[in-house]
Amino acid sequence: MAYTPMTARGRHEEHRASTPLELFFDLCFVVAVAQCGARLVHALAEGHPGTGVIGYFFVFFGVWWAWMNFTWFASAYDCDDVPYRIATLVQIAGVLVYAAGVSRASDENDWTVAVVGYLIMRVALTAQWLRAGAGESGPARRAAFTYAAGLVVCQAGWVALLFAPDDVKRWLFLIVAAAELLVPVVAERGHQTPWHPHHIAERYGLFTIIVLGETISASTVAVKSALDEHDALGELLPIAAGGLLIVFAAWWIYFAAPVHERLTTNREAIPWGYGHLLIFASGAAIGSGIEVAVEHAVGQAHLSQPAANAAVTVPSALFLLTVWFLHSRHFKRGLAQQATLPLSALVVLACTWAGPYAVLYAGLVATATVAVGIALSAGPDPADA
């Protein structure tokens, strides 16, 4: 439709699913995720894990938060008319500009292009919240206008960051990022926006698939490039096989829990949504780690074997632990089920010292975790014993 009044969607609307526009929006984020991963690979392969991980966290935060802002707004107020689609197009343009600035932000601490991308996104999203507020009344109206004001204030903080001395930019980044995280908490104190639990769970699941898909893509390109330039099939095959097993197990484990059943209020949903920063970042970092392992296997990386292995095992273990903490543990019964994922994460970490076959062993551990989880869930309920 050309124009539709922007009114709140129903929280219990039946058959609510992601729209083609939302899927297209997510697809555009693949570019930004790939840019973040590429900078992490470069830093790790050159033997600079500290600066690489810190830079990766900063630029990935920007990707995740931009996606978060759109996703939760769309779940509550998506009217899918022409103005809404145009505003989404503007946000997509901002995402692509941000992606173009990732390398400068990560490598040179130059956030100019990234902030311009955010500014483009924020103009559109602020207009969306103002439009939503205009169609509401009472607490809902105040919440929408508070969101709009919070976006403007935080964006001013990002612009001011450009004029700060380089040695304090990253400390100021943390302050502005904390302010960003507080906006939803403050805006929704007196009114919970009508986001849809099933829709939100699906949106997060789809972005998890996109992140894991980017991991598969990056890993495949790395292995192909290494095979084209080096005769190292014996060294690369265990890495490729182990990486595929890790990603497949990560997908299986993430979708094993019906998480939408817990997303009833902001008290559960906000920590769950914020915690996905670690899930998305670690999922994407697995692919970067596989690339580093491939470069080490063909002698192109300047780091030790355990360090190259850790590039895969650390994000893999973090993914398992975070998925368990955020939602899997709420659906586990008995000590055996509760302990499976944490113990698996520890064993995956231990694979760091397994030499050239570390990635393969980590993949086998992740696969065994899935098998154990299936066997325990199929057994008798401990509560009935």
Whether pLDDT at 378 is above 80: no
Task: Taking residues 89-95, report their average pLDDT.
Answer: 95
> How far, in Å, CA of 280 to CA of 278, rounded?
6
Q: For 171-227, what is each residue's pLDDT tens digit? A: 899 999 999 999 999 999 988 999 999 999 999 999 999 999 988 888 888 888 888
- From the list 240, 192, 223, the residue with the least C-alpha distance to 76 is 192
The CATH number, out of the four listed (1.20.1440, 1.20.1410, 1.10.3470, 2.60.40), of the domain defined by the range 197-384: 1.20.1410
Distances (CA, A) of 99 to 60, 273, 276: 10, 22, 20
Distances (CA, A) of 179 to 150, 153, 384: 9, 9, 47
Whether pLDDT at 340 is above 60: yes
pTM reported for the whole predicted model: 0.92
Tokens of 383: 């509560």
Task: Tell me the domain boundaries of the chain.
Answer: 20-187, 197-384
**Cβ neighbour number for residue 97 with a 10 Å cutoff:** 19
Alpha helices (runs of H) in 101-165, residue ranges in sequence order: 102-108, 112-134, 138-161
> How far, in Å, CA of 5 to CA of 131, rounded?
9
> Would you state the pLDDT for residue 266?
86
> How far, in Å, CA of 361 to CA of 174, rounded?
37
Three-class secondary structure assignment of 156-223: HHHHHHCCCCHHHHHHHHHHHHHHHHHHHHHHCCCCCCCCCHHHHHHHHHHHHHHHHHHHHHHHHHHH
b or e along 41-50 (b: 16 or more beta carbons within 10 Å of the residue's beta carbon)?
Answer: bbbbbeeebe
